[in-house]
Structure 1
Amino acid sequence: MKSIVVFSGAGMSAESGIMTFRDMGGLWERYDVTEVASPEAWEKNPQLVMDFYNQRRKQLLQCEPNKGHTLIAGLEKDYDVQIITQNVDDLHERAGSTKVLHLHGELKKARSTVDESLVYTLKGGELKLGDYCEKGSQLRPHIVWFGEAVPAMDQAISLIQQGDMVVVVGTSLQVYPAAGLLNFIKKTVPIVVIDPDTPKFSAAGNITAIRKKASEGLQSLSTD
């Protein structure tokens, strides 16, 4: 069975109403990233950090997968589809995709501050001071913050090297090391980039640009 690797970014979920950091009017204009998305922020003011992610989680609960998500999920009928996403939402899963690797963590989960392997699904929707792991340590958002390593990178590299086709959708390719994944694609593998403003990258190969938003571009995607 032909393997398709989908590499998705914030533009994938923007059509569902998920606010992005970098788009005009996005989260960068409302928050200083160093105050809400860094290890230093957590050390300085964990309550502010938790409030920020609690707000994002609450927003996510009000959003639904869009046509683009369902189109990708539908590819599983005929292809082995692996999604590598920079997004922390669960919209790919809710649309029906079964193989999703989250590079930057998951908004609906929390993890121990003393043992990264202890990851929990947040049942109540909010993370609070006093929520502890089984080892008695405060839980933190299960998010890869700026300045932290990306634990899933090795797995992502392995997956993208195995693809017979790579679809890059809704990402500006400005966030590293995630954007560097494209350098690991085999030169003979066709790459389709779906974005209104086609990002520049150095990956060699047969590149097709579809200058449309995620859902519209995926509708015109040819997987032949």
Structure 2
Amino acid sequence: MWDTISDKLRKAEKIVFVTGAGISQESGIPTFRGKDGLWRKYDPMKLATIDAFYEDPKLVWEWYEERRQNILNASPNSGHVAITELEKFKQVSILTQNIDGLHQRAGSTNVYELHGSIITIKCTVCDFKNKITSRFLQLPPLCKCGNILRPDVVWFGEALPQDAWESAMVQASTCDTMIVVGTSLEVSPANLLPVYAKQNGAIIIEVNVEQTHMSSSMDLSLRESAAKALPGLVDTISGS
């Protein structure tokens, strides 16, 4: 089976990666649903919903500022770098649930952030949006219009950014290989992306240290971390 998949991977023209928190874990960024995940320590309803934000914006901002500093101190790992290297040989797109920007920092050029970015802020009222360049003097920070700024991330109960999601559906529906990395795909609508790829006849490979509810529908599942599995997988695809 592996020989057949290897042959198809080498012939692949368009490869789409769907990535989640697992790929960044080895860069020191905690996952959400793993055994040491953030949601085992914190209540997401108090930190990652619009209601929680309006109830206590300072608390929510303090939590996101701590996470942002951790992310800024992290570096891309060999999994991120391997995906970047693959761009030399294939057409590559990344549909990521991560908000850490590590794919871009590794050098990947075609990244769609489905859940937004922790490096970006936006106003709760006007259309202001910008990258965060320094620490805030006060929390919660205020927009020039006088209203509260918020992290530009997707919270529970919110829709994905329409442009990013529409692009993701197109990418998934037109690829011949999809590699699902470090995500259990328990969150909708991102869990539909492999379905779109399968409808196009794509090979779907899962890279995850744990079995997921999607594993049975994969053509191949690699029970390794992204940092360990992806360099070898990329060598297979590039024919190295």
TM-score, length-scaled by structure 2: 0.86
RMSD: 2.0
Distance 1:58 1:125 in 2: 9
Alpha-carbon separation, structure 2, partners of 1:216 and 1:113: 41
1:5 counterpart SS class: strand
Provide the C-alpha distance between the structure 2 equivalents of 1:8 and 1:106, rounded to a whole number of angstroms.
14
CA contact (8 A) 1:108 1:125 kept: no
- Residues 170-205 of structure 1, C-alpha deviation per residue, up to 9 Å, x if partnerless? 10111112112221113411111111223233996x
- Structure with higher helix content: 2
- Partners of 2:137 and 2:112 lie apart in 1 by 23
The answer (yes or no) to whether the contact 2:28–2:74 under 8 Å persists in 1 is yes
How far apart, CA to CA, are the structure 2 residues paired with 1:202 and 1:209? Answer: 7
The percent identity for this pair of structures is 39
Q: TM-score, normalised by structure 1?
A: 0.91
Instruction: Assess, with a 3 A threshold, how the Cα gap between structure 1 residues 113 and 217 changes in structure 2: closer, same or farther.
Output: same
Given that 2:175 and 2:200 are in contact with CA atoms closer than 8 Å, whether structure 1 keeps it comes out as: no
What is the CA distance between 1:23 and its match in structure 2? Answer: 1.5
Tell me, yes or no, if the aligned pair for 2:184 and 2:214 is still in contact at 8 Å: no
Greater Cα offset, 150-159 or 54-63: 150-159
Does residue 148 (structure 1) correspond to residue 158 (structure 2)? The answer is yes
Residue 120 of structure 1 corresponds to which residue in structure 2? 130
Q: Deviations over 1:4-51 (max 9, x none)?
A: 111000100001000112122221132111110001101100001100
Residue 48, structure 1, aligned to residue 62, structure 2: no
The 5 A counterparts of 1:93-172 are: 93-115=104-126, 117-126=127-136, 128-129=138-139, 131-151=141-161, 152-172=164-184
Classify the secondary structure of the residue corresponding to 1:106.
Answer: strand
1:198 aligns with 2:211: yes
Shift of residue 129, structure 1, vs aligned partner: 3.6
Aligned-partner SS, 2:87:
helix
SS at 2:121 equivalent = strand
Which residue does the alignment assign to 1:223?
237
- Structure showing greater Rg: 2
